[in-house]
Amino acid sequence: MAILFHQHPVVAVDALPESAFASSIVPFLEDYCVSCHGTDSAEGQVVLDRFTTSANVQTEYELWEKIVRLVNEHQMPPVEESQPTTEEVLAVTSAIEAELAAFDCSSDKHPGRVTIRRLNKAEYNNTIRDLVGLDLKLADDFPSDDVGNGFDNMGDVLSIPPVLMEKYLSAAITIGERVYADEATRQRVFPHSAKSDDERVEVARQNVREFAGRAYRRPITSAEEDRLFAIMFSAWGQDADEAEIYQTVIAAVLSNPNFLFRVEQDPTVDDGDGIRELDDYELASRLSYFLWSSMPDARLFELASQGSLQNPEVRIAEAMRMLADPRGRGLVDNFAGQWLQLRDVSTLQPDPQKFPEFDDELRFAMRRETEVFFETMIREDRSILEFLTADFTYVNERLARHYGMDDVAGDEFRRVSLAAGRRGVLTHASILMLTSNPTRTSPVKRGKWILDNMLAEPPPPPPPNVPELEEGAETLGSLREQMEQHRSNPSCAVCHTTMDALGFGLERFDAIGALRERDGRYEIDASGELPGGRKFDGAAELMVILGEEKKRQFSECMAKKMLTYALGRGLVSHDRCTINDAVTKLAGNDYRFSSLVAAIVTSDPFTMRELKRDP
Amino acid sequence: MSIQTSRHTRRTILRGLGVSLALPWMESLAPRATAATLSAASASPQRMAFMFVPNGVHLPDWTPQTEGYGYDLPHILSPLAPVQDDVTVISGLTHDKGRGNGDGPGDHARSASVFLTGAQPRKTEGSDIRSGVSVDQVAAQHAGHATRFASLELGCEPGRSAGGCDSGYSCAYSSNMSWSSESTPLGKETNPLFVFERLFGDRPDGAVRDKNALRREALRKSVLDYISDDARRLQSQLGKGDRQKLDEYLGGVRDVERRIERTDDEPKVSVDVNYPIPKGTPDDYAEHIRLMCDMMVLAFQTDRTRIATFMLADAGSNRSYRHINVADGHHDLSHHGGNAAKHAKIREINRFHVTQLSYFLQRLKSTPDGEGSLLDNSMICYGSGLSDGDRHNNENLPIVLAGGGGGTVDQGRHIRVSAETPMCNLFMSMLDRFGTPVDFIGDSTGRLSGLRA
């Protein structure tokens, strides 16, 4: 079961006192649930009237998570039964969340299990680059990798359709040819050469052993070596020349499942509780694919061979080294590119009639701005809260013009103070554009995007039978007036109050992120009020408030996104322990980027593996 | 409209570099894989293709007023006029498993994953994705061995590269419609150049192979033996979920092995087909769709495969159609809220897609095959997994079936089936005609009786 966390902010960390459980949760169960899920008629074997004084989260958390999800999504109670109000739904789900938040993480470990992962396109390209020293980008021609949980490195989602296997094979053959097309590359890949005929067999074995070991990201077994050598021997027997013999081995290694998949062994009966600690080579790959989207380098292999990566301090030190390395670009391209959805900037098509100034140069500059900003966060180890509140950014001439700044000339990006009215990445043109429609802004889309991707408070789906809001028809009044009508429906208001306030705070930026004062014939009103009463006018004030009041939510959100990406699987119940720990470490270290990475590389899910339980 | 422009572009391209493709299939050698009872009239093999469009259609401008032969062509279907006698519009089919059925929102993701499977997708963002085996893959698994490629999966959009797709469903559900097993979506090819290279690039037909080429092939076969051996060894050490991934790997290797063997003993001579090598993915969307249609025509014509699926756009696509003066995002528009101006734009998008379908059907019709045309020996199923984009409903889906099915389908009619008839019943009837009958697929309850007048 992959139900995680909550749909609403967790307010309390302590469980409700028993009386609170009895007063805030039990009545809801009695009113809406136990007539079907009671001792007398336990539909789906779910019995809820046995909970009278406590939720027993320690043993029953999965049931409660399921209840939260089903109630939130309006799946339960079924439509033909009497329905709770939206307020009642929110009240009971946040009360259950408070119970779940009190889960005791010290009781037992559940690091979870990652399905065997094939390399995705980015990882394949980078791995080949680092393995043979040729930046061939052959995976650009592979079919795209499907996205799950917001990222394209999810083991369960990455499949191998036949067309991909064909591409793997032809890429492996091409790489062999390219390695042999260039003497320097050949020597890098197979560095050993025989000084006499007597040595030839041993040298060939050594070359193959080392190459396959790097490709499989672990020492190969002697049986594997023998079998690889047997292929060479058979090629030799068919009159193949040396180049052809080695190319055959390259093809056999690079189309091999041990190369294409990141293999981790399951725990065996000898591992207590069905959990095993990953070995050093598995850890080296976890680190390198997390931070570089590529294979481990010589130093990681060296540390692995010494057994040093079991030491958390060594892992943290290595992670810091890796973030500073140029290969750390992998984290920007793939983590930031997907968390902040910067990849979408490359494909969006704003309406050229409404936005004639938009061109590919601007498109590129938009994406690059946010990437350079993210790189700066890593390099200067800044507080992650600056994603919300930074008062600086990076622009080149084209983007500066878009932002209405003078005095910036040339293509290279440089650090500047943000123009008035802007703060943090949510006011970058990239994110303002990718949260808009091709012809116009969508405050709802922007508000929802912030809740989903920055605050870990994804709003529940709209209740059934509520008409979709028709934004943008001018005859109906300004967008804001229309939204206010929409919110007059109380079941909409509960969620839209926050969502719309966030979105309207950004209304002074159009669908490609340029500043504007009017939307059609309406003057922009970018003021608003957040639940709790904080008032703001415009994005800059809004971001400052978020940076002050949403530290925990933002930290939790980024930790969840990064842990998902680092593990290659969706988060499950026990991962809340890792998230809580990461949030605590961030708060204790001025929210520095490095403390989040350190928390992840020392966490149980990152360093251990558990037998899969039956769903 | 931009059709004229695209035609012009096409002619320009046709003057470009061409290659000769031999047709390996000859009438005298035609394998009789088709069901004798249904396709006695045809000596040619049957082909089938499935085409998907997202976000439903504007039904009032889709559904013909009259039933039976000589039906009227509403605005959206009007581009089909040149091939109307080869097209049957089927009203009333339903994909019940595209409905929430207790899984809540996510209609777009479901509309694609259910379209050819008739199976309720498991609602999951990333773990244990599950749908069902799609109709094209049922056919491919039964009859795909007859051709070099069991099937082709094509599309115009490469799937989302970040973020979420639809309400808790992994993007795998939105960007694929062919599933070879309940857990294996088949990624689609979106670049016509790569499709072309895959179909025709491996070895010039009839080329004489010298000793070196033979040795290279022998070495490649030894690599295949080696990696399948390694995969099986690895598989034996892994847990259940991981073993299944190795199954996918091994299936891929077997496919390649089979292809090498087939290429060795395929007949090598026949008619030459001239076609320019595509240059890659064109910027023009109409051109892109048409190139993909050409790839299907070529693949059918040269018998590289007999089965294809083609997603003109992914589920929930918010693509802008400004080449037909609709700048708004398609998904955004499809939530029209009854607004007439939006209806007007939606039906232009729908009509644009049908214009491309018409191009494809005309290409098939003008390509000789056996004693008739490729279209005579094909079944082309086109439609959306949603009925109305605003209501997100799954009954009364917009569906057309084109092509004679080797003389087994009486074309040129508008037929209306009874309410809630499963779309899978149409698939059952198609599989019968394809020579690959099954007892059920998805939520089928029987066969569609109306394909014969």
> Residue A466 has what pLDDT?
64
- For residue B333, give the chain A residue with the closest CA: A470
Q: What's the token pair of residue B223?
A: 């690599």
> What confidence tens digit (pLDDT) does each residue in A348-390 have?
999 999 999 999 999 999 999 999 999 999 999 999 999 999 9
Does position A477 have pLDDT exceeding 70, yes or no?
no
Decide if B202 contacts B19 (C-beta within 8 A): no
Are the beta carbons of A165 and B390 separated by less than 8 Å?
A: no
- For residue B178, give the chain A residue with the closest CA: A161
Alpha carbon distance B183, A613 (integer Å):
18
Q: Which residues of B29-48 are buried (b: 16+ CB within 10 A; e: fewer)?
A: ebeebbbeebbeebbbbbbb
> What confidence tens digit (pLDDT) does each residue in B265-307 have?
665 434 466 788 899 999 999 999 999 999 999 999 999 999 9
What does the DSSP 8-state code read for residue A351?
Answer: -
> Residue B267 has what pLDDT?
55
- Pick B41 or B452 by higher pLDDT: B452
Query: What is the ipTM for the molecules in this complex?
Result: 0.88
Per-chain mean pLDDT for chain A: 90
Any chain B CB within 8 A of the CB of A244?
Answer: yes
Worst-scoring range by mean pLDDT, A2-6, A44-48, B14-18, B251-255? Answer: B14-18
Nearest to B69 by CA among B86, B94, B47, B51: B86
Q: How far is B36 from chain A (nearest CA, A)?
A: 31
Model confidence band, residue A19 (pLDDT cutoffs 50, 70, 90):
low
Any chain A CB within 8 A of the CB of B386?
Answer: no
Model confidence band, residue A42 (pLDDT cutoffs 50, 70, 90):
confident
Which residues of chain B have a CB within 8 Å of the CB of A611?
A: 239
> What confidence tens digit (pLDDT) does each residue in B58-115 have?
999 999 999 999 999 999 999 999 999 999 999 999 999 999 988 888 999 999 999 9
Does position B15 have pLDDT exceeding 60, yes or no?
no
CA atoms within 13 A on the CB side of A317: 10
Which residues of chain A have a CB within 8 Å of the CB of B124?
A: 2, 148, 570
Q: How far is A117 from chain B (nearest CA, A)?
A: 9
Amino acid sitting at position A431: I
Please, what is the angle between helix A593-601 and helix A312-324, to 10°?
A: 130
Which residues of chain B have a CB within 8 Å of the CB of A263?
A: 234, 238
> What confidence tens digit (pLDDT) does each residue in B197-230 have?
888 875 554 456 688 888 888 999 999 999 999 9
Q: What is the mean pLDDT of residues A314-319?
A: 98
Which residues of chain B have a CB within 8 Å of the CB of A227?
A: 226, 229-230
Nearest to A244 by CA among A296, A171, A176, A327: A176
Decide if A29 contacts A99 (C-beta within 8 A): no
Are the beta carbons of B170 and A341 separated by less than 8 Å?
A: no
Terminal Cα-to-Cα distance of chain A (whole angstroms): 6
- Pick A488 or B186 by higher pLDDT: B186
Are the beta carbons of A439 and B327 separated by less than 8 Å?
A: yes
Which residues of chain B have a CB within 8 Å of the CB of A251?
A: 220, 223
**Kind and range of the H or E run holding A416:** strand A414-417
Before A77, cis peptide (omega within 30)? yes
- Pick B259 or A288 by higher pLDDT: A288
The phi, psi pair for A42, rounded to 5°, reads: -80, 75
Q: A412 CB contacts (<8 Å, ≥6 apart)?
A: A396
Are the beta carbons of B153 and A146 separated by less than 8 Å?
A: no
Nearest to A421 by CA among A515, A525, A530, A504: A515
Decide if A219 contacts A241 (C-beta within 8 A): no
> What confidence tens digit (pLDDT) does each residue in B191-206 have?
999 999 888 875 554 4
Q: Collapsing DSSP states into helix, strand and coil, what is residue A36?
A: coil
Q: What is the mean pLDDT of residues A61-76?
A: 84
> Residue B26 has what pLDDT?
33
Q: Alpha carbon of A592 to those of A385, A480, A597: distances in Å?
A: 9, 37, 9
Worst-scoring range by mean pLDDT, A209-213, A446-450, B35-39? Answer: B35-39
Instruction: Name the E strands within B331-398.
Output: 368-369, 372-373, 378-383
Are the beta carbons of A163 and B124 separated by less than 8 Å?
A: no
The phi, psi pair for A173, rounded to 5°, reads: -70, -45
R_g of chain B computed on alpha carbons: 22
Decide if A512 contacts A432 (C-beta within 8 A): yes
Alpha carbon distance A332, B326 (integer Å):
35
Decide if A395 contacts A403 (C-beta within 8 A): yes
Q: Exposed (0-12), middle (13-18) or buried (19+): which is A269, by Cβ within 10 Å? A: exposed
Share of chain A above pLDDT 70, in %: 94
Are the beta carbons of A349 and B319 separated by less than 8 Å?
A: yes
Any chain A CB within 8 A of the CB of B225?
Answer: no
> What confidence tens digit (pLDDT) does each residue in A396-408 have?
999 999 999 989 9
> Residue A480 has what pLDDT?
81
Q: What's the token pair of residue B416?
A: 């209306």
Q: Collapsing DSSP states into helix, strand and coil, what is residue A89?
A: helix
Share of chain B above pLDDT 90, in %: 70
Q: A545 CB contacts (<8 Å, ≥6 apart)?
A: A530, A534, A536
Model confidence band, residue A450 (pLDDT cutoffs 50, 70, 90):
very high
Does position A6 have pLDDT exceeding 70, yes or no?
no
Alpha carbon distance A317, B88 (integer Å):
67
> What confidence tens digit (pLDDT) does each residue in B301-328 have?
999 999 999 999 999 999 999 999 999 9
Share of chain B above pLDDT 70, in %: 86
> Residue A63 has what pLDDT?
87
Q: What's the token pair of residue A200?
A: 């030839």
Are the beta carbons of B163 and A257 separated by less than 8 Å?
A: no
**Kind and range of the H or E run holding B364:** helix B340-365
Are the beta carbons of A570 and B126 separated by less than 8 Å?
A: yes
Q: How far is A62 from chain B (nearest CA, A)?
A: 16
Q: What's the token pair of residue A545?
A: 């408030």
Does position A249 have pLDDT exceeding 80, yes or no?
yes
Alpha carbon distance B226, B257 (integer Å):
12
> Residue B1 has what pLDDT?
32
Share of chain A above pLDDT 90, in %: 69
